[in-house]
């Protein structure tokens, strides 16, 4: 199937990053959000990020101009009905995603492929609420999208072969690498990554180490580019907690129990970089551990 026009639901960090890479790869992009301000910020962010690539010699000024011209925005979800591929990149809450798909389905063309950028929620369950479970897949990009090379492709129980093949080809055209994952809670990356982050929070909670010592230990002792608590702040502590809850509920194993300290930070609204406070306080010139 020939995919030319791509609709993206959600103009946040992930949605704007996905729009960025699709536009640069030659796809026409229609970006949707419930906020006009959010759409304006997303387009401005994409412009800045591609300009950074131009300054580094990775993209030409002509390629940037062409990519930006391919991006259109809309506040109407129904407008995405004319696209060949829809990527839902809304908040990591199943009820929100289900509502989006239910509103979108009546407007879709018969051939349109539906996907979700969910990092943990059952693809089979999301697909079952649509009219096209055979044309529904998990299409999980990593953050930040323009930099990270991996895309997880997750088939639901009903996903057919042509849909998988079409998305595999799209990943290749984006210049990224696909990893096929089965439809189990949190798939591959977050099934391994989130329990590590959760264990780092437990290590802090139990007083085994401080924020600084935990992060330095993993950076210098395991050669990780970022410490687990620093990474949690980058991802968003609310997202980390949501994924841990999906793992805990979906696999019914106590080893996935979210650390109470992670829950407390989220309850306080200290969600990491996006709120200026998490395991680090980002309000000054240099991040300072909050514990």
Residue 152: active-site member: yes
Q: Is 12 annotated as a binding residue?
A: yes
Q: How far apart are CA 136 and CA 24, in angstroms?
A: 24
Choose the catalytic residue: 88, 190, 198, 230. Answer: 190
Tell me which of 117, 119, 122, 198 is the catalytic residue.
Answer: 119
CB burial readout 235-249, b (16+ within 10 A) else e: bbbbbbbbbbbbbbe
Residue 17: which of 189, 188, 147 has the closest Cα?
147
- Among this protein's residues, is 140 annotated catalytic? yes
20 flagged as catalytic: no
Six-digit token pair at 248?
């805990």
What tokens does 171 get? 């990943």
Tell me whether residue 10 is annotated as binding: yes
Asked if residue 35 belongs to a known ligand binding site, the reply is no
Plot region of 48 (φ>0 → left; ψ -120 to 50 → alpha; else → beta): alpha
How many other CB atoms sit within 10 Å of the CB of residue 183? 19
Distance of alpha carbon 264 from alpha carbon 269, whole angstroms: 9
State yes or no: is 190 an active-site residue. Answer: yes
Secondary structure element (H or E) that encloses residue 212, with its range: helix 211-221
Q: How many CB atoms lie within 10 A of CB 18?
A: 25
Give the active site residue among 32, 88, 152, 230. Answer: 152
Q: Is 33 annotated as a binding residue?
A: yes
- Is residue 194 a known part of a binding site? no
Residue 15 annotated as lining a ligand binding site: yes
Q: Which residue in 20, 32, 140, 198 is the catalytic one?
A: 140
Nearest to 71 by CA among 10, 13, 24, 108: 24
- Point out the annotated binding site for NAD(+): 10-15, 33, 92, 97, 119, 143, 274
Active site (catalytic) residues: 119, 140, 152, 190
- Point out the annotated binding site: 10-15, 33, 92, 97, 119, 143, 274
């Amino acid at each position: 199937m020939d995919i030319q026009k791509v609709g993206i639901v959600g103009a946040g960090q992930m949605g704007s990053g996905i729009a960025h890479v699709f536009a640069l790869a030659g796809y026409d992009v229609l970006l949707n959000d419930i906020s006009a301000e959010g759409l304006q910020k997303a387009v401005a962010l994409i412009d800045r990020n591609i300009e950074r690539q131009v300054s580094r010699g990775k993209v030409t000024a002509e390629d940037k101009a062409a990519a930006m011209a391919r991006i259109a925005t809309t506040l109407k979800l129904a407008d995405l009905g004319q696209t060949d591929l829809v990527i839902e990149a809304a908040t990591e809450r199943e009820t929100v995603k289900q509502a989006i798909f239910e509103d979108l389905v009546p407007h879709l063309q018969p051939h349109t492929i539906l996907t979700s950028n969910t990092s943990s929620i059952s693809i089979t369950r999301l697909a079952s609420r649509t009219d096209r479970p055979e044309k529904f897949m998990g299409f999980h990009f990593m953050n930040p999208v323009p930099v990270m090379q991996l895309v997880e492709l997750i088939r639901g129980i009903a996903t057919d072969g042509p849909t998988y093949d079409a998305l595999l080809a799209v990943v290749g055209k984006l210049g990224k690498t696909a990893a096929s994952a089965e439809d189990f809670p949190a798939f591959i990356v977050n099934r391994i990554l989130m329990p590590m982050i959760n264990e780092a929070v437990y290590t802090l909670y139990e007083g085994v180490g401080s924020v600084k010592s935990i992060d330095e230990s993993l950076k210098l002792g395991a050669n990780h580019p970022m410490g687990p608590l620093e990474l949690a702040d980058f991802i968003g502590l609310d997202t980390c907690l949501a994924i841990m809850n999906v793992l805990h509920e979906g696999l019914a194993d106590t080893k996935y129990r979210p650390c109470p300290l992670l829950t407390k930070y989220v309850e306080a609204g200290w969600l990491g970089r996006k709120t200026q406070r998490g395991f680090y306080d980002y309000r000054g010139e240099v991040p300072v551990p909050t514990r």
